[in-house]
């Protein structure tokens, strides 16, 4: 349905908690954050173990947030990723359950 680079990972402590456990095609949980003070359409991205990785980019989340607000179940999968020691560069593929 949609692919994008994860945003906001630089603000999270991911080095020891997430990066060593991350693999291509891992399932990801997408959660709406309608009360996010920086973006009313925010969609956060978590591992299935509940660790926050970051957000879908603000410039492309309006339609996805509206789909979620209407009750559609969206989920993600990791595609490619790179850890530079501070930032996680992760391509997230977003899917919608039929």
At 47-59, the pLDDT tens digits run 998 989 999 999 9
Residues 6+ apart with CB under 8 A from 44: 30, 31, 33, 52, 54, 55
CA 73 from chain center: how many Å? 14
Distance CA(79)–CA(98), nearest Å, equals 21
- Report pTM: 0.89
Residue range 12-51, pLDDT digits in tens: 877 776 666 788 999 999 999 999 999 999 999 999 989 8
CB 59 within 8 A of CB 7: no
């Amino acid at each position: 349905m949609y692919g994008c680079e994860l945003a906001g990972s630089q603000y999270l402590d991911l080095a020891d908690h997430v990066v060593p456990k991350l693999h291509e095609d891992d399932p990801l949980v997408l959660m709406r954050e309608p009360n996010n003070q920086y973006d009313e359409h925010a969609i956060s991205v978590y591992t299935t173990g509940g660790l926050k990785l970051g957000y879908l980019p603000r410039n492309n989340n309006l339609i996805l947030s509206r789909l979620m607000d209407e009750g559609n179940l969206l989920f993600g999968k990791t595609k490619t990723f790179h850890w530079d020691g501070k930032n996680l560069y992760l391509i997230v593929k977003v899917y919608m359950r039929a």
